[in-house]
């Protein structure tokens, strides 16, 4: 019987991305995956792992942790790692290229959930400012933050007939520049509250800070598509229903063609945020901005746009960002049956509840000077729908008052930005909890509790936000 071939790690290293034959190590086994690379659903990203150990990458791309993927790999088995290279019976994990080595430094005030990949909330101190400073804008990275060279950067557009048109950054900047003020909100914003208010919801346990608002400058996607030769009107393109975006790592998503082409959709290819070039974490040199849609569709480090009959086949389009019923779980759902989240429902949160200092006590209705509490927060609705009212309760939902909606200057053909609000209430009205709910121009509002809206992926948490009033005597 054949003994497995013993392979030194030095030999594995010679079969990296520059080699004709490309190998990877998983566990203590070596695989020659040369033939399979063109079929990798994540594209060229896999070239980062060849010539080394793949386990570390699979920790990041958890989608690989399933039998069918292990079975594919087994077909390419060529031998075992030479025992002389094992430490405590295992392949040492160091010496592989660190996918996060080019990640930028981050602002110390961000509330970090995971560092690699970086997932961090905006600090509450900035959630009550209309514009979020770029360095405090929340960061949601599924993988590393690619560091792209703006000079050699190219955006490729794939037309329905397969023809490709590429643009440099300089070429893109020659199109009319458009400013849009938009809120990006992660589908997981406030997931922690769903977990607390119902049951554990899968994913990062975000508080109220997986949302931020900035002014963005870029060019209209519809202008670029038209220039590339697609205006969506030709009969022979009638089958095209989606615009797919591919990032430079492996992230991908898509939006309906209708949103992309709408004159009122304000879908941009963005190169500036708050008056500066996009920061690396937010997609430098170019990201998509799909205002009014869940932020997962605003693909960063944009490399490729394709016009297609189907949605993006990425896990982020096909799986992660969908909602099911409160009784359903990951093992029993038909993923294809639920639509990918695009526009988002009404959201609001209380960012602070504080006793006003004596000097700022307000004259209240009876002309008496009373101890007062100031409550502040944000409210937001997807789809370009304006927030028309914010109801705040000082006593756990028994009585309600309308908050003042603060003025701001938001650019855009629809309302894509959140609304900041504020309310001053006499302290004697305060119960155990302050509560907020908002209403949008379609008279949509938020559910009273989490249970009926529980979904196991923990998406679109939107129940009334409750915050305890701590300073009662």
Catalytic residues: 40, 64, 140, 186, 321
- In this chain, which stretch among 2-10, 87-95, 161-169, 298-306 interacts with ligand MTE, using CB under 6 A? 298-306
Nearer to ligand MTE, 138 or 469 (CB): 138
- Contact between 153 and ligand MTE (CB under 6 A)? no
Does 301 help bind ligand MTE (rule: CB under 6 A)? yes
184 binding ligand MTE? (CB under 6 A): yes
Q: Does 186 bind Mo ion (CB under 5 A)?
A: yes
Q: Should residue 141 be labelled a site residue for ligand MTE when binding is judged by CB under 6 A? A: yes
Contact pick of 172, 243, 295, 379 for ligand MTE (by CB under 6 A): 295
Answer for which of 48, 113, 220, 300 binds ligand MTE (CB under 6 A) is 300
Indicate whether 296 belongs to the interface with Mo ion (CB under 5 A). Answer: yes
Nearer to Mo ion, 172 or 186 (CB): 186
Q: Least distance in Å: CB of 230 to ligand MTE?
A: 23
Among 140, 271, 322, 376, which residue interacts with Mo ion (rule: CB under 5 A)? 140
The answer to whether 201 and 179 have CB atoms below 8 angstroms apart is: no
Q: Using the rule CB under 6 A, which residue among 15, 142, 190, 414 binds ligand MTE?
A: 142
Q: Which stretch binds ligand MTE (CB under 6 A): 7-15, 244-252, 325-333, 387-395?
A: 244-252
Candidates 294-302, 306-314, 391-399, 460-468 — which segment interacts with ligand MTE by CB under 6 A? 294-302
Q: Does 460 bind Mo ion (CB under 5 A)?
A: no
Shorter beta-carbon distance to ligand MTE: residue 202 or 364: 202
Interface stretch with ligand MTE, choices 11-19, 86-94, 131-139, 147-155 (CB under 6 A): 131-139
Residue closer to ligand MTE by CB (options 172, 296) is 296
Residues at the contact surface with ligand MTE, assessed by CB under 6 A: 137-143, 184, 186, 247, 249, 251, 281-282, 295-296, 298-301
Residues at the contact surface with Mo ion, assessed by CB under 5 A: 140, 186-187, 296
């Amino acid at each position: 019987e054949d003994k497995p071939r013993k392979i030194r790690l030095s030999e594995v290293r010679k079969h990296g991305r520059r080699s004709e034959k490309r190998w990877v190590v998983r566990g203590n086994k070596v695989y020659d995956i040369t033939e399979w690379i063109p079929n990798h659903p994540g594209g060229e990203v896999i070239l980062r792992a060849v010539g080394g150990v793949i386990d570390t990458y699979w920790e990041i791309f958890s989608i690989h942790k399933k039998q069918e993927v292990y079975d594919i790999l087994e077909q390419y088995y060529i031998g075992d790692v030479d025992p002389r290279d094992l430490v405590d019976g295992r392949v040492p994990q160091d010496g592989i290229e660190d996918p996060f080595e080019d990640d930028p430094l981050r602002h110390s005030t961000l509330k970090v959930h995971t560092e690699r990949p970086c997932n961090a909330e905006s600090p509450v101190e900035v959630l009550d400012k209309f514009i979020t400073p770029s360095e405090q804008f929340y960061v949601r990275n599924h993988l590393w933050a690619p560091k792209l060279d703006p000079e050699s950067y190219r955006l490729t557009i794939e037309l329905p007939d397969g023809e490709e048109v590429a643009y440099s950054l300089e070429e893109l900047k020659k199109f009319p520049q458009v400013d849009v003020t938009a809120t990006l909100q992660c589908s997981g914003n406030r997931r922690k509250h769903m977990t607390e208010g119902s049951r554990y919801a899968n994913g990062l346990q975000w508080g109220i800070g997986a949302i931020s608002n900035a002014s963005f400058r870029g060019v209209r996607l519809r202008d670029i598509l038209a220039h590339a030769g697609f205006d969506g009107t030709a009969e022979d393109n009638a089958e095209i229903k989606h615009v797919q975006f591919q990032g430079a790592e492996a992230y991908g998503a898509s939006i309906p063609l209708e949103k992309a082409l709408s004159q009122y959709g304000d879908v941009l290819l963005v190169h500036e945020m708050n008056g500066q070039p996009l920061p690396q974490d937010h997609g430098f040199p170019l990201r998509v901005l799909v205002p009014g849609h869940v932020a997962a569709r605003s693909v960063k480090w944009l490399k490729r746009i394709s016009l297609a009959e189907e949605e993006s086949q990425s896990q982020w389009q096909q799986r992660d960002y969908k909602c099911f019923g409160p009784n359903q779980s990951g093992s029993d759902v038909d993923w294809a049956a639920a639509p990918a989240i695009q526009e988002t429902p009404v959201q609001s949160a209380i960012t602070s509840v504080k006793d006003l200092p004596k000097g700022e006590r307000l004259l209240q209705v009876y002309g008496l000077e009373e101890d007062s509490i100031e409550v502040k927060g944000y409210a937001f609705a997807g789809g370009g729908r304006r927030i028309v009212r914010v109801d705040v309760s000082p006593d756990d939902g028994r009585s309600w008052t309308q908050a003042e909606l603060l003025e701001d200057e938001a650019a855009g053909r629809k309302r894509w930005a959140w609304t900041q609000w504020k309310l001053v209430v006499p302290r004697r009205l305060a119960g155990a909890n302050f509560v907020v709910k908002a209403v949008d121009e379609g008279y949509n509002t938020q559910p009273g509790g989490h249970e009926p809206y529980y979904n196991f992926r923990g998406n679109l948490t939107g129940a009334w936000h409750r915050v305890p009033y701590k300073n009662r005597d």
